[in-house]
Structure 1
Amino acid sequence: MDMNQYMEIFIDESKEHLQTMNEVLLELENNMSDVQHVAEIFRVAHTIKGMSGTMGFTKVADLTHEMENVLHLVRSQEIAVNSYIIDILFECFDSLESQITHIEENSIESDEENVSLVNKLKEIVRTKSNQPGDGPVEEKVTEEVKVVETSGEFHVDVFQTSVAALRKSVEDGYAIMKIRVTLAESCMLKAARAFIIFNALENMGEVLLSHPNAEDIEDENFDQAFEVLYITKSSEVEVRNMFDSISEIDRIDIEAVNELPEEIGEEKVEEVVEEILEEKVEEVKTDLGAQAKPSAKSKTSKTVRVDIDRLDNLMNLVSELIIVKTTMEDHDSTAGKSSMDDAVEYLERITTSLHNAVMKVRMVPVERVFNRFPRMVRDLAKDLDKKIKLIMSGQETEVDRTVVDEIADPLIHLIRNSIDHGIEAPAEREKRGKSAHGTVNLKAYPEGNNVVIEVVDDGNGIDPKKIAAKAVSKGLLTEKEVESMTEKEMLNLLFMPGFSTAEVVTDLSGRGVGLDVVKSKIASLGGSVDILSEVGEGSKFVIRLPLTLAIIQALMVYLDDEKYALPLNNISEITTIKSEDISMLQNQEVVLYRNKTLPIIRMKEVLELRDPSEREDVKELTVVIVRKGTEEAGLVVDSLIGQQEIVIKSLGSYLKGIPAIAGATILGNGGVALIVDPNQLF
């Protein structure tokens, strides 16, 4: 069977399961006695093993198989979880993540071998020890474990067990069901349909037995029906309702298994399961007592999950567009201009609503990015021998998918900086009267047409004077220039390429090294980044990003005879200023406006449309006041055209990096207008 058709499903599902594994491992590290966390990791490892076996990715299947063996010992209380096992499981996670990424990019597994990691897992199983280098310990009396290599999402390891375990599960409130699924005659891909059915069943309970065996199901070597022995806490009605959501099923027969034989020897187990399913069954699930939990769904880079109500709204708006189109086609020229104006106004309302609806469809929560940081913080704290707490809030805040995909790297760098150079060592913190645990706050929240993301630490803070002194020592500034700078301007020196105040630059980060990259990446997204810091108390990096990069509201202006677009979310107000009120301050034109000093930027000169020596003698200037964070500046334009909704188009690689230009848009008459990026003008 050609498995390439399932590759995208495999990648998406594997990433979701790995995200769940990562989250649960972090929780298990904080509460090592929680058996439910162990059961969840076991379930995830088992699912990945099944999927990878089906797809033929043996290295992933082998590693997850060894993980299962260790986790089985933990669940049966033969060994206890400790930091050594946690570290090995994290190593397994890293290896699995690396393999899945390689498979996504190359459609094959990497050549990297996991021999050392597999051997560590096998050693734990062999000695039933949770410490490195320990010899064998006294073993408990347990059932014999017989491992049989199989493949497929539906396969389960063959563990000899007793009917007593089933009986105990029933006493704990579980129901055992025999389910016969008959697929429709029209079903073309029986294996794929069975794959979906088994996934759905695993979300509500555990598949204990199956007939036919895994290989036959994968090869579609069965007629139209297969049977499973199923254990769940859900009712029969709930199980039937679950099947209602799956298509191409002709019939579902569910029979409760109420009669279980008395305790028997393990040699009789196969006879018992034959009796229950009335067929020879080769696969027996080991986890009889733990109920599976649905995995937490995370977003992937190629897909966006959309609320059905948003799609319905989108469909309704498209329907209205068709109505307007029909109205305009049937428009009688004798009806007059008024009728056409009404139709155009109606069309404008619909297109605006359509824009908002499409924006919402493209929106994904920033949780998609935030989810990767707890593990990163955990590893950094361990490497640096620091105690760090990561507090996240606002994960439900939504932004455009393209923005989310691009913001991860800047946030990683800022968080690493905060942990490495911001937060002090535990002993030093206690000496200063602080808690030994440093705190990094990562929060997101909407602000108008922007999304704000803050990275806040309670560390040592950044000394502006130290930054200024370093700039002078490097010859970047003179002492006289530094004297006239504000603390905010000194802090912004950190964004200069290669600028660093770190005494020792580590492999992890250097305060300032790479912050120019952070700034340029955020600027390329149409956003801005600001620094707030108090020496001894901590630092705050504030990132402001537009909600979307696709369609924006803009103010169209004239510079000479050319049209330019200014993003509306950057504009605070429009005013006129008399030329005589403008004065010079440190080679910068400024004006006193609303009791504040407002820098004046002449757009024609910035865009090299005119030489400063050719400046016209105009008594009154049209000024568009734009903002970047807490800063403001006045842009001088020739005249205003009005507000317009524009689609942002890239200038392409040949015109990349033009100062102050973010892209272009196509006008109604077919002409092109350049889009100004006000953030680059500050």
Structure 2
Amino acid sequence: MSFIDDEEILEDFLLEAGEILEQLSEQLVQLEQQPDDKNLLNAIFRGFHTVKGGAGFLQLNNLVDCCHETENLFDQLRNGHCQVSSELMDVVLKALDAINAMFDQVKERQNPDAADPELLASLAALANGEVPPEQSASGISQDVTQARQDEDLMQQIEASTGAVEGAAEVEGDATDEMTDEEFEALLDQLQGKTAGSEQSASPSENASEHEERQSNDAGEGAAASLGSAASDEISDDEFEALLDALHGEGRHAGLPSTEASESSSDSQPKPAGNVTPFPTSTDAPPASSPAEPAKTEARQQAGGAASATPRPEDKVAAAPGKKESSSADTTVRVDTRRLDEIMNMVGELVLVRNRLVRLGSTAGNEVLSKAVGNLDLVTADLQSSVMKTRMQPIKKVFGRFPRVVRDLARNLKKEVNLELLGEETDLDKNLVEALADPLVHLVRNAVDHGIEQPEEREAQGKARQGTILLAAEQEGDHILLTISDDGHGMDPDVLRRKAVEKGLLDKDAADRLSDAECFDLIFAPGFSTKSQISDVSGRGVGMDVVKTKISQLNGTIAIESRPGKGSRIEIKVPLTLAIMPTLMIMVRDQTFALPLANVHEIFNLDLRRTHTVDGQQVVTVRDKSLPLFHLGQWLGHGVANDSGDNGKVSDDANVVIVNVGAQRVGFVVDTLIGQEEVVIKPLGRILHGTAGMAGATITGDGRIAVILDVPGLLKRYAA
């Protein structure tokens, strides 16, 4: 079967393998910190094993080869034949990068390119307890070619003894397809052929090691097979065993004896019941123990699923298998496009709800008002439930940061500890994906700019290892993300001086800046406090992009810092982008919506509190002067107003103070309508990209309102 032959199977593989690869990135960094964690070693081994099995079923041979070499290395690690080290983890992480690159090619429906032969040779050398070879490409190529010849020889020997007879029948089919009858027959054979698999273990292994090997490599096949004996449905463990039978496990013949036993143990499912496994005829003695015949007979009576005298550990292992199957029965994978359609329909329902609420309040009919009130409650509950279906834990983003911090710290020769809090905080799927790049940039900045060198930290009385904290928590209808470090922090005076040097401000304007406004300078394009440019930072490119991205998500970003103590960056974003709370306003006879996240306060305009400074009208709020802008001048086609009073407004006008980063400005509006939840609709082709407009919506009275983009408005008109 080619991976393009069955789109459904490919999609299942992409979903499962994608989740596993995300977990592996975090697990590998954790393993470097906890090298003696056997459970973690086994989990990583099973991860590569599962990806290899799925890739083998789809005949993605290059992906199989890379996963197989990595799997062999972790087999040696968990058996104690080699030890975890930073150098070893460097090679393994490179292998994971290569696997991810191949996986990306598969997602694009392309056959993956082969991994670097030098990388495969390094993995094989580490698995054999050797130093990764420093040899020419031709020598590496010869080694890889010889290894492949060994694999081919091993496969030919297994095929001659009938060990992979079932797989040969499938591959020999003219249509390259397996019928349902052949599939069921192969499953029946798999379930009845584990009796002889016990003999395939190496004599050097003790019983407990072999039982653990069977449990890990076959997905705890004994418990799963017993659990499925009363059912006609195939379990996940049986399916993995089927993949092993079809595509072979542990094909390298030139590995140590423990790995050879692993190879034979991996290929326990045999299509033919009367065939003796190849390793048995050469490795296993004729009678390994007096209890072996009784064990074999009992296993055959149990459907080849478990030993006749199960140990207490076996009984304990069977219980989680049942829980997993019942949990799987309550989970359904749904295409996100369907969720988007449901969300759109709920959005339309919210608009109708808003319309009915407005009509109910003006109709004066008590019965109608009560019915509309009930509809309002039900719609709100439905909206909340549908939004939850689109939620994902932010751990999907946080999971990549241990690797980012680890690699960057080694590159910069720093010692950094990353702490993660609130990984289970749920966020809209689109927001989770959109926040990935900004957060990566902020974390890299914290490692590069924030954390000092170990010697410098010791001289300041700090611990050699710096700490970066990445946290997430929900605050009402927003998510608060914080990135903090205990590094040297930022000096406001240095920022003022840099701003003057780069021509962003004159000296007087820089001196008037508060500390918070100074910190906000780092978001200016081209601004950097580093005197040297590296491949990590120093070019002043990035932080302005981060702020722009957060603003596009209707979020805010703020910085706190203390010299010598560290810095803290706070990001607030809404839970979802589909439905937004807004403040509805009137300018002339047109309705507009201001995102409520930007609104700080509202008050009636008092002309006695306004004056002009350098040609700019300002309003005094609690002894602080804020710039004042008349939206009618910006949104009324550039005309001051119909009466020709050059922007002067009546005393009943209102001022809305909005936040733009660390700055606050005032917007003069004619009328305040009130708060309303709106469904964001994209602008048409003609208006798309218009400065100051984020989208449109339908108000409760049926009118169309433009949703204003506050940063875009100021950038376009107030610059």
> What secondary structure is seen at the aligned counterpart in 1 of 2:561?
strand
Is it true that 1:39 corresponds to 2:42 in the alignment? yes
In the TM superposition, residue 275 of structure 1 has moved relative to its aligned partner by 5.8
User: Of 7, 10, 34, which aligns to 2:10?
Assistant: 7
Q: TM-score, normalised by structure 1?
A: 0.74
In the TM superposition, residue 159 of structure 1 has moved relative to its aligned partner by 9.9
User: Of 636, 642, 649, which aligns to 2:681?
Assistant: 649
Structure 1 counterpart of 2:470, which letter?
L
Contact 2:62 2:114 in 1 (8 A): no
1:271-307 per-position Cα deviation (integer Å, ceiling 9, x unaligned): 979867669x9999xxx999899999xxxxxx9979x
Aligned pairs for 1:345-424 within 5 A: 345-424=373-452
1:88-143 per-position Cα deviation (integer Å, ceiling 9, x unaligned): 21111111111112211x11233353311111122234x43256569xxxxxxxxx
Contact 2:560 2:568 in 1 (8 A): yes
CA distance in 1, matches of 2:451, 2:635: 43
In the TM superposition, residue 62 of structure 1 has moved relative to its aligned partner by 0.9
CA distance in 2, matches of 1:444, 1:655: 36
- Could you tell me which residue of structure 1 aligns to residue 710 of structure 2? 678
CA distance in 1, matches of 2:377, 2:639: 43
- Could you tell me which residue of structure 1 aligns to residue 693 of structure 2? 661
Is it true that 1:624 corresponds to 2:656 in the alignment? yes
CA distance in 1, matches of 2:105, 2:487: 38
- Could you tell me which residue of structure 2 aligns to residue 576 of structure 1? 604
In the TM superposition, residue 70 of structure 1 has moved relative to its aligned partner by 1.9
CA distance in 2, matches of 1:87, 1:147: 31
Structure 1 counterpart of 2:57, which letter?
T
> Could you say which structure has the higher helix fraction?
2
Is it true that 1:19 corresponds to 2:22 in the alignment? yes
- Could you tell me which residue of structure 2 aligns to residue 97 of structure 1? 100
In the TM superposition, residue 630 of structure 1 has moved relative to its aligned partner by 6.5
Contact 1:624 1:637 in 2 (8 A): yes
CA distance in 1, matches of 2:70, 2:91: 9
> What secondary structure is seen at the aligned counterpart in 2 of 1:28?
helix
Is it true that 1:196 corresponds to 2:214 in the alignment? no
> What secondary structure is seen at the aligned counterpart in 2 of 1:641?
strand
Structure 2 counterpart of 1:366, which letter?
I
When structure 1 is superposed on structure 2, of 589-598 and 469-478 the one drifting more is 589-598
When structure 1 is superposed on structure 2, of 624-633 and 656-665 the one drifting more is 624-633
Question: CA 1:132–1:460 in 2, change beyond 3 Å: closer, same or farther?
Answer: farther
- Could you tell me which residue of structure 2 aligns to residue 447 of structure 1? 475
CA distance in 2, matches of 1:283, 1:74: 28
Contact 1:424 1:438 in 2 (8 A): yes
Structure 2 counterpart of 1:89, which letter?
V
Aligned pairs for 1:552-571 within 5 A: 552-571=580-599
- Could you tell me which residue of structure 1 aligns to residue 129 of structure 2? 128
CA distance in 2, matches of 1:550, 1:212: 45
CA distance in 1, matches of 2:83, 2:364: 84
User: Of 27, 49, 53, which aligns to 1:50?
Assistant: 53
- Could you tell me which residue of structure 2 aligns to residue 116 of structure 1? 118
Contact 1:421 1:510 in 2 (8 A): no
1:441-483 per-position Cα deviation (integer Å, ceiling 9, x unaligned): 1111222322111111222222333233233223332223223
Question: CA 1:608–1:515 in 2, change beyond 3 Å: closer, same or farther?
Answer: farther
Is it true that 1:615 corresponds to 2:617 in the alignment? no
- Could you tell me which residue of structure 2 aligns to residue 592 of structure 1? 620
Contact 2:517 2:662 in 1 (8 A): no
Contact 1:49 1:64 in 2 (8 A): yes
Structure 2 unaligned segments of length 5 or more: list them: 136-150, 159-163, 171-182, 249-264, 266-281, 325-330, 357-362, 715-719
Question: CA 1:147–1:48 in 2, change beyond 3 Å: closer, same or farther?
Answer: farther
Aligned pairs for 1:215-364 within 5 A: 266=284, 268=286, 337-364=365-392
Question: CA 1:527–1:657 in 2, change beyond 3 Å: closer, same or farther?
Answer: farther
When structure 1 is superposed on structure 2, of 369-378 and 344-353 the one drifting more is 344-353
Aligned pairs for 1:430-441 within 5 A: 430-441=458-469
1:317-342 per-position Cα deviation (integer Å, ceiling 9, x unaligned): 99xx9xx99xx9xxxxxx99443333
In the TM superposition, residue 369 of structure 1 has moved relative to its aligned partner by 0.6
1:200-239 per-position Cα deviation (integer Å, ceiling 9, x unaligned): xx8xxxx6xx7994379xxxxxxxxxxxxxx9xxxxxxxx
Question: CA 1:76–1:283 in 2, change beyond 3 Å: closer, same or farther?
Answer: farther
> What secondary structure is seen at the aligned counterpart in 2 of 1:194?
coil
Structure 2 counterpart of 1:266, which letter?
A
Question: CA 1:122–1:564 in 2, change beyond 3 Å: closer, same or farther?
Answer: same
Is it true that 1:168 corresponds to 2:208 in the alignment? yes
Question: CA 1:580–1:529 in 2, change beyond 3 Å: closer, same or farther?
Answer: same
When structure 1 is superposed on structure 2, of 463-472 and 379-388 the one drifting more is 463-472
Is it true that 1:493 corresponds to 2:521 in the alignment? yes
- Could you tell me which residue of structure 2 aligns to residue 234 of structure 1? none
> What secondary structure is seen at the aligned counterpart in 2 of 1:674?
strand
Question: CA 1:660–1:212 in 2, change beyond 3 Å: closer, same or farther?
Answer: closer
In the TM superposition, residue 623 of structure 1 has moved relative to its aligned partner by 2.1
1:7-62 per-position Cα deviation (integer Å, ceiling 9, x unaligned): 11111111111122222212221122333322221111111110100011111111
User: Of 65, 68, 72, which aligns to 2:71?
Assistant: 68
Structure 2 counterpart of 1:79, which letter?
C
Contact 2:470 2:482 in 1 (8 A): yes
- Could you tell me which residue of structure 2 aligns to residue 188 of structure 1? none
CA distance in 2, matches of 1:435, 1:213: 53
Structure 2 counterpart of 1:83, which letter?
S
Question: CA 1:164–1:535 in 2, change beyond 3 Å: closer, same or farther?
Answer: closer
Q: TM-score, normalised by structure 2?
A: 0.70
Question: CA 1:100–1:268 in 2, change beyond 3 Å: closer, same or farther?
Answer: farther
Contact 2:53 2:243 in 1 (8 A): no
Contact 1:417 1:510 in 2 (8 A): no
Question: CA 1:19–1:581 in 2, change beyond 3 Å: closer, same or farther?
Answer: same
- Could you tell me which residue of structure 1 aligns to residue 142 of structure 2? none
User: Of 81, 92, 101, which aligns to 2:84?
Assistant: 81
User: Of 492, 500, 507, which aligns to 1:472?
Assistant: 500
When structure 1 is superposed on structure 2, of 470-479 and 163-172 the one drifting more is 163-172
User: Of 668, 685, 706, which aligns to 1:636?
Assistant: 668
When structure 1 is superposed on structure 2, of 31-40 and 402-411 the one drifting more is 31-40
Structure 1 counterpart of 2:696, which letter?
A
When structure 1 is superposed on structure 2, of 95-104 and 604-613 the one drifting more is 604-613
- Could you tell me which residue of structure 2 aligns to residue 238 of structure 1? none
Structure 2 counterpart of 1:638, which letter?
D
> Could you say which structure has the higher strand fraction?
1
CA distance in 1, matches of 2:432, 2:333: 14
Structure 2 counterpart of 1:360, which letter?
K
Question: CA 1:610–1:78 in 2, change beyond 3 Å: closer, same or farther?
Answer: closer
RMSD of the alignment, in Å?
4.5
Structure 1 counterpart of 2:40, which letter?
H
Question: CA 1:629–1:452 in 2, change beyond 3 Å: closer, same or farther?
Answer: farther
Is it true that 1:528 corresponds to 2:556 in the alignment? yes
Contact 1:81 1:130 in 2 (8 A): no
Question: CA 1:394–1:213 in 2, change beyond 3 Å: closer, same or farther?
Answer: closer
Question: CA 1:591–1:112 in 2, change beyond 3 Å: closer, same or farther?
Answer: same
- Could you tell me which residue of structure 1 aligns to residue 109 of structure 2? 107
CA distance in 2, matches of 1:304, 1:447: 29
1:130-160 per-position Cα deviation (integer Å, ceiling 9, x unaligned): 56569xxxxxxxxxx9965978999999994
